[in-house]
Amino acid sequence: MSATATPSTESATDEPSKEERLQSYLLSKAQDGELYFKSKFIADEVGLSPKEIGALMVKLRDSASELTIEKWSYTSATTWRIEPAQDPA
């Protein structure tokens, strides 16, 4: 029985998690500087729902050391501001 569990575990770890997918997307988009966005406008590009993105943004704000993430404003949906993290000099 463990033989059937192992392949499914391996295939699950081969794909990036939702959080990793979102973080990678944001890092690529923020390479040139700050970026403002609403979850509903990037949902299709990332393959996540706006609610999933919102929940993950809260997690990434605390864990993604490569990005500075701010909840910027709320007008019909949260606008997020991200930029590459500044190295302390």
Quote the CA–CA distance of 46 and 7 in Å, as a whole number.
Answer: 26
Q: What is the pLDDT of residue 9?
A: 46
Note the pLDDT tens digit of each residue in 47-74: 999 999 999 999 999 998 899 999 988 8
Q: Which residues contact 5 (CB under 8 A, 6 or more apart)?
A: none
What structural domains does the chain harbor? 17-83 (1.10.10.10)
pTM: 0.75
The first and second tokens of residue 73, run together, are 């404003």
Q: What is the largest CA-CA distance in the chain?
A: 54
7 has pLDDT over 90 = no
Higher per-residue pLDDT: 2 or 30: 30
Where residue 30 falls among pLDDT bands split at 50, 70, 90? very high
Residue type, 77: A
